[in-house]
A and B are shown apart, each in its own frame.
Chain A
Amino acid sequence: MTHVVLQKLNKVYPGTTQAAVQDMHLDIPSGQLVALLGPSGCGKTTTLKMIAGLIHPSSGDITFDGASVLPIPAERRGAVMVFQNYLLFPYMSVGQNVGFGLKMRGVPQKTINQKVIEMLELVKLPNIANRRPKQLSGGQQQRVALARALITAPKVLLLDEPLSNLDAHLRDEMRELILSIQRQLGVTMIFVTHDQEEAVLLANQIALIFEGVLQQYAPPDVFYRQPISERAARFFGGVNFIAGTRRGDRVTTALGDFVFNPAGKDSAPEGAVTLTIRPEQIVLQPADTRNSIAGRIRARIYVGTYTRYKIVLNDGSEIEATRPGDVGSLEEGDAVRLAFPEDRIWVVAQR
């Protein structure tokens, strides 16, 4: 149960001018599961290693429960990292691996053995303490790595791409395991990933990072409804962007005027904006014509659980809409009307 705060954190690697991490300010309440999300090379792993104490920041501070941890070396900081490729020590047995942290703390061997059994049960891998890491599958190795990290009762658990090496079926299993451990132990968890799906699946809060700069820090659903920028929207799979001019709750575009209803938060100023709406929020063939435009279906892509429509609009631009798979009867070449519900439209400032 540790409250982690990053204050104006900067990291500039020697010999570079561009900061790997720039003025990162992040407040992570205790017991949260936070994702640092961004494309590779955006500084998220650097941030994670700074929290662990493996990289020293150029400036700024990191506090655990209000106290700066920068003077504390990695081995005594209480922030344990689980690496992406698990890094089980190959010449030690599974039991020795899991017990490593306690051995370093000088705990008697008898107590270690007991705790190892407990931890392996926690990650649902009992009776494998005598095996070698090589004899385990990837998913099992990851769970052993998790047990090895948790045995020291860390203040903060740091995970590097915890789900990305697993196939879809193991992903669900691992996700549930991590969430149940988090509920059981209440440990603050921070993980990095480049995969927005992984972040959404696991995190309470997502910190989106581009080029070392924090873009948006919010619960997962906010990134779908109210992304901070066009780039943030694109990162979360947004595809529909229409340039326009905003005056109050009205956006004027080449396709006509749209009325929108900024529910609560509002990120765009008056003037040049980009209007965006998620494909699944567009209503095809609406009952009334409010906020609607005409188009023609260029392509119909049946995906099974839903159907994607690529629709060409009057000005030649293209927009994508989806409908649940069993709603049919629209074919390629059909003329179609599409409505943008006013509480589903979101506008961001143009770059």
Chain B
Amino acid sequence: MSRVKRILFYAAVVGVVLALVLPIITFFINAFAFRWFYPQFVPNEWSLQAWERIGLIPREGQRTLEGWWRLLSSGSDVINALGTSLALGGLVTVLSVIIGLPAARALGLYRFRFKRLVEFMILAPTIVPVIAFVLGLNINFIRWGFSGTLLGVAVVHLVPVMPYVVLTLSGVFANYNPEFEEQARTLGAGPLRTFWYITLPSIFPGLVVAALFAFLVSWSQYLLTFLIGAGRVITIPMLLFAQASGGNNAVTAAMSLIFIAPAVLTLLLSARYLSGEASAVGGFGRI
């Protein structure tokens, strides 16, 4: 690299880091500040008051094992919403992978009539705005008794989730040799064991990436949960939106940190599946 190129390269790196990391740093400061007013560069006093108020950390003097236990079993709004969000994300992930695997295999391995159309239909939810279909869907969901249930919300989350899962997995199958399965069959493995010993290990990196996408897309849904959940399925984004539209800055910041935590955590834990050789298999390969 020439000198000028190197300078430009590092400038770009610094720019990206500032644009992405600086806002998050302000969240951290806000969430742990006692008060943070102009013209202070950093707050003069720090505290955990925001975390106490949303019920994730016991008040001063009660931070014993017993105090923690009482708090976590108290069923505060945030803890309940965390549970709902996790359960919802888990359910959506499992459902989307079960539905997406066969679809991705067909798209990645086989040629068939109207394949382009099928691909377009699967990608359509990324283009069509949620509001365009969710109101009509809501009427039917109410009729079927799906409205306001965790399963109903999970099913509707599948709409924005499926494109990511199918796209990621069909990339995996585009580079997949199904003769490995035939080889296992003639060696004495039945269909189930062929899937367990041959197919699953081969597609595992891509499967992890697809599952992460599914979980994160579900985790960050607001409008769909709001409408189909009918106020009975409360997830973290619902609390965050309520808080953000007229609450205490410190509490909003603390909740925002909870909101982005799974994204950061999963990306860190799964870095090896998202980089290098595995991403060539698991990433957006040709479809």
Interface set of A (CB-CB < 8 Å, partner B):
49, 52-54, 73-77, 79-81, 83, 87, 89, 91, 100-101, 104-105, 148-149, 152, 158
**Within the complex, which residue of A52, A89, A91, A105 is in contact with B186, where a contact is CB–CB below 8 Å?**
A52
Q: Is the CB of B185 within 8 A of A89?
A: no
Known: A54-B185, A89-B198, A100-B184. A75 touches B179 (CB 8 A): no
Interface of B is mostly: helix
Q: How far is the CA of A53 from the CA of B182 in the complex (A)?
A: 9
Q: A83-B179, A91-B201 are in contact. List 18 more A-B contacts (CB 8 A).
A: A52-B182, A73-B190, A74-B185, A75-B185, A75-B188, A79-B186, A80-B187, A81-B183, A83-B182, A87-B177, A89-B184, A89-B197, A89-B198, A89-B201, A91-B202, A104-B184, A104-B188, A104-B189
Contact digits for B166-195, partner A, Cβ 8 Å, 1 yes 0 no:
000000000001011011111111100100
Which A residues are CB-close (under 8 A) to B184? 89, 100, 104
A149: nearest residue on chain B (CB-CB)?
A: B187
B51 to chain A, nearest CB (A): 44
Chain B residue contacts of A87, Cβ below 8 A: 177, 179-180, 183
Q: How far, in Å, is B205 (CB) from chain A's closest CB?
A: 11
Residues of B within 8 A of A76 (CB): 188
Given A73-B190, A75-B190, do A83 and B185 touch, yes or no (CB 8 Å)? no
Nearest chain A residue, comparing its CB with the CB of B198: A89
Most buried by A among B179, B182, B188, B189: B188
Closest CB-CB distance, B282 to chain A, in whole Å?
Answer: 15
Alpha-carbon distance A77/B201, docked complex (angstroms):
25
Asked if A89 and B188 make an inter-chain contact with CB atoms under 8 angstroms apart, the answer reads no
A75 to B185, CA, bound (A): 5
- Output the least CB separation between A133 and chain B (Å): 12
Nearest-CB residue, chain A, relative to B190: A75
For A101, give the chain B residue with the smallest CB separation. Answer: B187
**Contact between B187 and A54, CB atoms less than 8 A apart:** no
Q: Which residue of chain B has the shortest Cβ distance to A55 in the bound complex? A: B182
Q: Report the bound CA distance from A184 to B281 in whole Å.
A: 42
Give the residues in chain A near B197, CB-CB below 8 Å. Answer: 89, 100
User: How near does chain B come to A92, taking the closest CB pair, in angstroms?
Assistant: 9
Q: Could you say which of B187, B193, B198, B201 has the most chain A C-beta atoms within 10 Å of its C-beta? A: B187
Partner of A104, one of B177, B180, B187: B187
Give Cα A104 to B177, complex, Å: 21
Docked pose: A330 CA to B177 CA in angstroms: 55
* Chain A to chain B contacts (Cβ below 8 Å), 15 pairs: A52-B186, A54-B185, A73-B190, A74-B182, A74-B185, A75-B185, A75-B188, A75-B190, A87-B179, A89-B180, A89-B198, A104-B188, A104-B189, A104-B193, A105-B188
CB-CB under 8 A from A101, the residues of chain B are: 187-188
Q: Report chain B residues within 8 Å CB of A104.
A: 184, 187-189, 193
A83 to B189: give the CA distance in the assembly, Å. Answer: 16
Tell me which residues across on chain B come within 8 A of A74, comparing CB atoms. 182, 185-186
B193 cross-chain contacts in A, Cβ below 8 A: 104
A74 CA to B197 CA, complexed, in Å: 16
- Per-residue CB contact flags for chain B residues 203-222 toward chain A (1 = under 8 Å, else 0) read 00000000000000000000
A100: chain B residues at CB < 8 Å are 184, 187, 189, 197
Residues of chain B lying within 8 A (CB to CB) of residue A148: 187
* Cβ contact within 8 Å between B187 and A83: no
B189 and A54 form a contact (CB under 8 A): no
Bound-complex Cα distance A105 to B185 (A): 12
Minimal beta-carbon separation of B195 from chain A (angstroms): 13
148-177 of chain B: CB within 8 A of chain A: 177
Given A89-B198, A104-B193: A152 and B179 interface contact (C-beta under 8 Å): no
Question: Given the complex, which residues of B lie within 8 Å of A49, measured CB to CB?
Answer: 182
